[in-house]
Amino acid sequence: MNLENYQGPALSIRGLEKVYDNGFRALNGIDLTVQQGDFFALLGPNGAGKSTTLGIVSGLVNKSAGTVEVYGQNTEADWFHSKRLLGVVPQEFNFNQFEKVGDIVVTQAGYYGLTAAQAKPRAEKYLKALDLWEKRDVQSRMLSGGMKRRLMIARALVHEPKLLILDEPTAGVDIELRLSMWEYLKKLNEQEGTTIILTTHYLEEAESLCRNIAIINKGNIVKQTSKRDLLSELRVQTFVVELIEAKPERPLIADHRCQWVDDQTFEVDVEQGKGINELFDAFDKLGLNVAGIRPKSNRLETLFVDLVRNG
């Protein structure tokens, strides 16, 4: 399989349907395209169809209809080649609790046709990169939650896939580990060229990491676009302003919706297309000394909630 001349998308989904045995229709013929080298987020509320979509791509769920291609390889007709290109990091821990960390990664490499001589150096490389090398002889059940998450990433990378899928990779993870995982994934995408698709409930994570986004709701793709274009749909952005000194009179800002949280903090809306410079003019006129200003909430979160509620 020679991909050097392949110019197409990393993932192409056409007309994907899934109806479970109990009659529940999880996917209604969705189309999705992820380009090579992209860092892509698939967002959606619980039960939207994210895990079903990823499950079908990775071979854990049988599809009812449609086609899926990974780097141009059909996941049914060319299942061998398509699976070799794919690495999967599931949401739930799914390794043998009694196997050692090193054995888990080397065994996974064996499933992809890597001999022990090939697998062991790779296992060392990824366990070191994810700070697990010292734990290689420890049974996986003895690892902390964060280490288990990193183990799943190491396991998914050992055969050096071109497309990495992560299902809520930082769920339940502390901030420090989340940031280090973000750094690692960014490096993987930017330096190694690995295409990454992740699902997440942390919209801040999607906004920080991803360049393109699709939103799925009730088995339908309601939006697929670049993050930039999606955010440009925001008509209003809310900022939280903190003052150096309290202002008990709580003045209002002309031409802007304004709401005071307390005597020293208020929220103000700025419409799409308007800069925030005029806000500072207004602050000067009102004698407000600003200590700090920040966006009220994740911008993507606002859009997401709107799209899902109206979808």
Partner 1 sequence: MSAYWIAFNTILVKEIRRFLRIWQQTLLPPAITMTLYFIIFGNLIGERIGEMAGLDYMSFIVPGLIMMSVINNAYSNVSSSFFSNKFQRSVEELLVAPVPNWVILWGFVFGGVARGIMTGLIVTLVAVFFTDIQVHNIWVLISTVLLSSILFSLGGFINALYANKFDDVSIIPTFVLTPLSYLGGVFFSISLLPDFWKDVSAFNPILYMVNAFRYGMLGVSDVSLVSCYAILVSIILILTAYSLWLLKRGKGIRH
CB of 83 to partner 1, least distance (A): 4
Rounded to a whole number of angstroms, the minimum distance from the CB of residue 162 to partner 1 is: 14
- Give 183's contacts (C-beta < 8 A, 6+ positions apart): none
Q: Is the dihedral of CA 69, 75, 78, 81 positive or negative?
A: positive
| 9, 96, 100, 157 from 137: Cα distances, Å | 39, 14, 5, 19
Nearer to partner 1, 12 or 58 (CB): 58
Alpha carbon dihedral 284, 287, 293, 295, in 10-degree steps, equals -80
In the complex, minimum distance from the CB of residue 197 to partner 1, in angstroms, rounded to a whole number: 14
Q: Which is nearer to partner 1, 111 or 280 (CB)?
A: 111
Report d(CA 135, CA 105) in Å as an integer.
12
For the bound state, the minimum distance from the C-beta of residue 135 to partner 1, rounded and expressed in Å, comes to 18
**Measured from the CB of residue 130, what is the shortest distance to partner 1 in angstroms?**
17
161 closest CA partner among 87, 103, 79: 87
Residue owning tokens 């200590």: 291
Spatial distance between the Cα atoms of 40 and 13, rounded to a whole number of angstroms: 14
Nearest CB to partner 1, comparing residues 97 and 272: 97
Helical (H) or strand (E) element with 267: strand 265-271
Least distance (Å) between residue 172 CB and partner 1: 17
- Name which of 60 and 291 has its Cβ closer to partner 1: 60
Nearer to partner 1, 88 or 308 (CB): 88
Residues in contact with partner 1 by CB under 8 A are 20-21, 52, 55, 58-62, 79-81, 83-84, 86, 88, 90, 92-99, 103, 107-108, 110-115, 155
Of 45 and 110, which has the nearer Cβ to partner 1? 110
